[in-house]
Amino acid sequence: MLIKRILVPLDHSKYSESAVELACFIAKYHESEITGMVVLDLPGIEHSLGSTPIGGMYYAEKLEEKKRKEAEEHIRKILEKFEEQITAQGIKFRAASLQGSPLQQIIDHSIYYDLVVSGSRLYCNFDAPRDGMPLTDLLDQTITPIYAVPEEINPPDISVEKVRTLIAFDGSMASARALQEYAHLVRPDAVDVTLLTAKQEKEEAENLLDEAEHYLRAHGIETITRVRSEKDIIAEIEDRIEDMHAVVVGVNAKKRFMKYFVGSTTKRVLDMNKRPVLLGH
């Protein structure tokens, strides 16, 4: 599967800048089109006004108009910066300015894209620039794979080194989906994969690693290191993440398990804020 359409939610943060940078890195290989989308948060503006006292409707309307104009100016600047960043890379792009709930707009539009590349925190409220929304709020509401991007990234020069990727694999449907999405996303000759499982039973772990390795090799990926860890999976990822360019994990999309799973695994990997994380689900 080629990645032809990439959606990047935009805001004023460094997370967003890094997301655009990673989207460009991916788009160059797949010859993709990138859509930069920024949303005028009308519900957020209305909520920030609070209740209107008797006789205060006129002033409330003026304040809402002022906030809306300020937000529209923020959006204009964000889109200008996005267009400058993309144009310099020579990549096809579209710029979209929408209105409504930012989270809902991302969910609604993501189904028309092959990949979402987003900052691991979203800063959609221009009145509260320090309060970012965690990306985990989005994970159980879209079918599209997501690359969650930290504040700072340093994509490798693939002409001189391979993209070192850590894939956490436990044989679950979620981790298998993440494995598949990764294999379809990457350039096989440009990656160096570490397959990690933390299954305690040696025979089970080796069987899982065998199957995952065979799958990756069938997709042309040849540089693979297998790791069976007896440590906690998070501890193992923490030990290895500095040596990696990216991490791949699965997200359990069953809502009754989501709170537990995000809290115990995915959220903790995202909170490390060190490397882009491909979230398969």
Q: Is beta strand 277-280 parallel, antiparallel or unpaired with respect to 146-149?
A: antiparallel
* pLDDT tens figures, 217-230: 999 999 999 999 98
Q: What is the pLDDT of residues 74-93, one digit of tens each?
A: 889 999 999 999 998 899 99
Question: 164-173: per-residue pLDDT in tens?
Answer: 999 999 998 8
What band does 195 get if pLDDT is binned at 50, 70 and 90? very high
* pLDDT digit string, tens, across residues 146-164: 999 999 998 888 889 999 9
Rounded distance between C-alpha atoms, residue 158 and residue 181, angstroms: 20
Pick 182 or 100 by higher pLDDT. 182
Q: Is residue 199 pLDDT above 80, yes or no?
A: no
Determine the pLDDT at residue 100.
Answer: 84
pLDDT at residue number 70: 77
pLDDT given for residue 57 in this prediction = 54
> How many residues in total does the chain contain?
281
The mean pLDDT value for 101-130 works out to: 85
Domains and CATH numbers, the chain: 5-149 (3.40.50.620), 163-280 (3.40.50.620)
Write down the pLDDT at residue 257. Answer: 35
Nearest Cα to Cα of residue 249 among 202, 190, 191, 181 = 181
Q: What is the pLDDT of residues 36-51, one digit of tens each?
A: 999 877 655 455 544 5
Q: What is the pLDDT of residue 211?
A: 97
Q: Please name the helix (run of DSSP H) or strand (run of DSSP E) that holds residue 27, with its range, or none.
A: helix 14-30
Burial class (CB in 10 A: 0-12, 13-18, 19+), 151: middle
Radius of gyration of the chain measured on its C-alpha atoms: 20
pLDDT band at 207 (very low <50, low <70, confident <90, very high): very high
Task: Look at strands 191-197 and 224-228 and give their pairing.
Answer: parallel
Q: What is the pLDDT of residue 251?
A: 80
Q: What pLDDT is stored for residue 268 in this prediction? A: 84
Q: In this structure, what token pair is assigned to residue 119?
A: 């900052």
Q: What is the mean pLDDT of the chain?
A: 84
Question: Per-residue pLDDT tens for 229-277?
Answer: 988 889 999 999 999 999 999 886 544 333 333 446 777 888 888 999 9
Query: CB of 136 within 8 A of CB of 19?
Result: no
Q: Does 280 have pLDDT greater than 50? A: yes
In angstroms, the CA 275 to CA 247 distance is: 7
Q: Write the pLDDT tens digit of every residue in 120-149.
A: 988 876 655 566 777 777 776 788 999 999
pLDDT of 281 above 60: yes
CB atoms within 10 A of CB 260: 10
Q: Is the pLDDT of residue 52 over 70?
A: no
